[in-house]
Amino acid sequence: MKVGDRINVKASIEVYNHPSFKGEAFDIKDLKGEIVSVITEWHGRPISPNYPYEVKLGEKFKVHLGEHEIEVIS
């Protein structure tokens, strides 16, 4: 997976920071979005994060996800 890929969230994940549902549980399963960055380094040092994909799921909503939680759509 790479920056610019369109994705679908395939896992049931409850988040509490969605701008439209602040403080409430919101399941992001089946939402579609775009990978905006892949985190591979921090301050010039290589890292291997558990959730390396930063995904934009809406105008004001980004979330970090792992490869096991998303799938590329065409």
Domain spans of the chain, in order of start: 6-72
Give the predicted TM-score (pTM) of the model: 0.84
Question: pLDDT tens-digit profile of 7-66?
Answer: 999 999 999 988 888 889 999 999 999 999 999 999 999 998 889 999 999 889 999 999
Question: pLDDT tens-digit profile of 34-44?
Answer: 999 999 999 99
Distance, in Å, from the CA atom of 64 to the CA atom of 36, rounded to the nearest integer, reads 10
User: Could you say which architecture CATH assigns to the domain 6-72?
Assistant: Roll (2.30)
Distance, in Å, from the CA atom of 20 to the CA atom of 46, rounded to the nearest integer, reads 35
Distance, in Å, from the CA atom of 43 to the CA atom of 34, rounded to the nearest integer, reads 24
